[in-house]
């Protein structure tokens, strides 16, 4: 709980105790003074967008009114004191179930710097349901290794303006109350704005994409951790398919809603998508699912999601090329120490699908990380990805149409030839038991109790976050930086919640199909 908020509760309790125990006329004035001070402090906390303080703000206002009334009219000290103490206890409840959290401290040898910039792709116009002459703007947040003596302001998780724009937007898009994520403005972070970049090293690049209708900051703990371990982490926003996002010049780009009066969805394409998804993900056998794949790929390419994949892939590829070839002046110093021969693409949900597709399209990509993203790139089915891949799925299916079968997942059919699936040690397919889709983000730290179990994880929030971030770092260390395999193996052994996906049945089925070329020599096991 932030210090100001603790002061509010301390003032209310102290005022109630004084009123109840100090049998002196001055106790009423002390109660009034304490309650009014709590009201002022609570108002300051509320200005910082901590909605959790609102019940305490109300209690402070009521106590102030009662205190003023008692000074002039009444002697009901104990009743007022007991009521104030009881209501104050009730006001603590939002902090219990929706804590205001700090990101875990990065544990690498480097301090962390951060900068926000916007790129503009003048070669693309009218992208994502904007006007035909509107050029593509791509906001970026860059975390990077900072010098040991770096000084400056710690950047908040979201600024006040970003919280009012992006946090409200993402809560609304996900079906939560609009205020739900406002307190991210108070989340503690560790990245220093505009810090001097560390020198004497060349740092690999990780380009990250958020989930659909989300925002760049959603995995800030992972970004800070990577930067502290010597990576330059670039989180890319994908306007119109993201939450509302404001550019550096103040322009607000709103989300393109799929349904409703201003929706951009195509009902016919939606119906085709639903039918194709049911046939592919709900198929009872490999034979039926493979037979449904052509229709599924056609439905994806004709749907908004297929167009979004192209847009997002172009966004991240443009960002990596621009940062390499013509970086904006604000980040030229950072990019001067970047090693673009070691670039990885990563992402969560739709961003994970984007990462795998972008990696396959970039000859400099040496690894990809997909955090619970299904494959929307039709070219990746029954085809070997050109680089190592970490796939971490959750306990939440991609669709309610997906067949409930522990030996099947739609991603089984992507990124490897079917008859060779499971051969490659550098394609690691895992499921994180006890974690749901949104539990892959920082938000897993901001919930407790039934709300946490329903939306994020049945595990301890800190452990759920560590599972994802530790595994991602260990995988990148091995396949981007060339660390010994023992590091990744040890990480996997530390987390029994991570279980390998069983692709043996697909492999056995596909080996009986005609025209299959021999697989490469089977690689050793990672685990």
What per-residue confidence (pLDDT) applies to 66?
76
What per-residue confidence (pLDDT) applies to 84?
83
Please check the confidence at residue 521 and state whether its pLDDT lies above 60.
Answer: no
State the Cα–Cα distance between residues 332 and 326, nearest whole angstrom: 8
Give percent above pLDDT 70 in the chain.
96
Tens of pLDDT, residue by residue over 29-46, are 787 888 889 899 999 998
Cα torsion at 27, 32, 33, 34 (round to 10°)?
A: 90
Name which residue leads in pLDDT, 391 or 404. Answer: 391
Tens of pLDDT, residue by residue over 150-176, are 999 999 999 999 999 999 999 999 989
State the Cα–Cα distance between residues 458 and 440, nearest whole angstrom: 12
What per-residue confidence (pLDDT) applies to 461?
94
Please check the confidence at residue 329 and state whether its pLDDT lies above 70.
Answer: yes
Tens of pLDDT, residue by residue over 183-233, are 999 999 999 999 999 999 999 999 999 999 999 999 999 999 999 999 999
Please check the confidence at residue 15 and state whether its pLDDT lies above 60.
Answer: yes
What per-residue confidence (pLDDT) applies to 62?
86
Tens of pLDDT, residue by residue over 222-263, are 999 999 999 999 999 999 999 999 999 999 999 998 877 777
Please check the confidence at residue 525 and state whether its pLDDT lies above 60.
Answer: no
- Helix count (H) and strand count (E) of the chain? 17, 12
What per-residue confidence (pLDDT) applies to 134?
94
Other C-beta atoms closer than 10 Å to the C-beta of 251 total 11
Tens of pLDDT, residue by residue over 109-125, are 999 999 999 999 999 99
* CA geometry: angle 25, 27, 30, nearest 5 deg: 130
Tens of pLDDT, residue by residue over 457-482, are 999 999 999 999 999 999 999 999 99
What distances in angstroms separate CA 179 from CA 53, 164, 248, 369, 435, one per listed residue?
12, 9, 24, 31, 24
> Do you know the residue count of the chain?
527
What per-residue confidence (pLDDT) applies to 195?
95
What φ, ψ does residue 309 adopt, rounded to 5°?
A: -60, -45
What per-residue confidence (pLDDT) applies to 516?
87
Question: SS3 of 240, please?
Answer: coil
Tens of pLDDT, residue by residue over 488-518, are 999 999 999 999 999 999 999 999 998 888 8
Categorise residue 441: left if φ over 0, alpha if ψ from -120 to 50, beta otherwise. Answer: beta
Q: What is the mean pLDDT of residues 11-30?
A: 76
Tens of pLDDT, residue by residue over 75-88, are 666 777 788 888 88
- Give the DSSP per-residue string, 246-268: E-TTS-EE----SSSTT----HH
Alpha carbon 330 to its chain's center:
25
Give percent above pLDDT 90 in the chain.
71
What per-residue confidence (pLDDT) applies to 417?
95
Report the chain's mean pLDDT, rounded to a whole number: 91
What per-residue confidence (pLDDT) applies to 468?
97
What per-residue confidence (pLDDT) applies to 311?
97
Tens of pLDDT, residue by residue over 361-381, are 999 999 999 999 999 999 999
Other C-beta atoms closer than 10 Å to the C-beta of 54 total 15
């Amino acid at each position: 709980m932030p210090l100001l908020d603790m002061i509010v509760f301390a003032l209310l309790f102290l005022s109630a105790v004084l009123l109840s125990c100090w049998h002196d006329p001055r106790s009423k004035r002390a109660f009034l003074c304490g309650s009014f001070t709590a009201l002022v402090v609570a108002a300051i906390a509320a200005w910082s967008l901590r909605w959790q303080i609102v019940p305490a703000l109300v209690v402070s206002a009521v106590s102030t009114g009662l205190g003023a009334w008692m000074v002039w009219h009444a002697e009901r000290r104990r009743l007022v004191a007991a009521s104030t103490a009881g209501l104050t206890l009730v006001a603590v409840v939002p902090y219990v179930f929706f804590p205001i959290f700090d990101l875990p401290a990065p544990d690498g040898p480097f301090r962390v710097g951060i900068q926000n910039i916007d790129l503009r792709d003048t070669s693309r116009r009218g992208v994502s349901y904007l006007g035909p002459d509107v050029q593509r703007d791509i906001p970026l947040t860059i975390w990077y290794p900072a010098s040991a003596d770096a000084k400056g302001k710690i950047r908040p998780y979201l600024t006040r303006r970003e919280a009012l724009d992006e946090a409200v937007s993402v809560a609304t898009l996900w079906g939560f109350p609009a205020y739900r994520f406002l307190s991210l403005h108070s989340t503690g972070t560790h990245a220093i704005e505009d810090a001097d970049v560390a020198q004497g090293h060349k740092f690999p690049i990780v380009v990250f994409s958020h989930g659909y209708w989300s925002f760049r900051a959603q995995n800030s703990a992972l970004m800070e951790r990577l930067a502290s371990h010597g990576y330059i982490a670039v989180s890319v926003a994908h306007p119109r398919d993201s939450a509302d996002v404001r550019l550096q010049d103040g322009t607000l780009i709103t989300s393109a809603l799929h349904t409703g009066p201003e929706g951009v969805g195509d009902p016919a394409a939606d119906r085709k998508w639903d039918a194709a998804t049911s046939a592919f993900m709900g198929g009872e056998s490999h034979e039926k699912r493979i037979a449904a794949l052509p229709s599924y790929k056609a439905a994806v390419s004709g749907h908004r999601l297929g167009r979004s994949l192209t847009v997002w892939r172009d966004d991240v590829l443009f960002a990596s090329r621009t940062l390499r070839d013509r970086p904006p002046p604000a980040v030229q110093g950072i990019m001067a120490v970047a090693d673009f021969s070691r670039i990885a693409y990563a992402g969560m949900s739709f961003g994970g699908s984007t990462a795998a597709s972008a990696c396959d399209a970039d000859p400099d990509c040496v690894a990809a990380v997909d955090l619970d993203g299904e494959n929307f790139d039709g070219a990746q089915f029954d085809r070997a990805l050109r680089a190592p891949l970490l796939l971490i799925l959750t306990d939440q299916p991609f669709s309610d149409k997906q067949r409930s079968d522990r030996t099947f997942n739609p991603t089984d059919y992507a990124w490897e030839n079917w008859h060779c699936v499971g051969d490659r040690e550098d394609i690691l397919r895992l499921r994180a038991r006890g974690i749901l889709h949104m539990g892959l983000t920082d938000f897993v730290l901001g919930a407790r109790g039934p709300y946490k179990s329903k939306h994020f994880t049945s595990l301890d929030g800190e452990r759920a976050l560590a599972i994802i971030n530790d595994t991602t770092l260990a995988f990148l260390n091995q396949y981007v930086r060339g660390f010994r395999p023992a590091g990744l193996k040890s990480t996997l052994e530390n987390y029994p919640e991570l279980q390998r996906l069983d692709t043996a049945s697909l492999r056995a089925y596909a080996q009986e199909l005609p025209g299959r070329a021999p697989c490469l020599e089977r690689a050793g096991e990672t685990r």
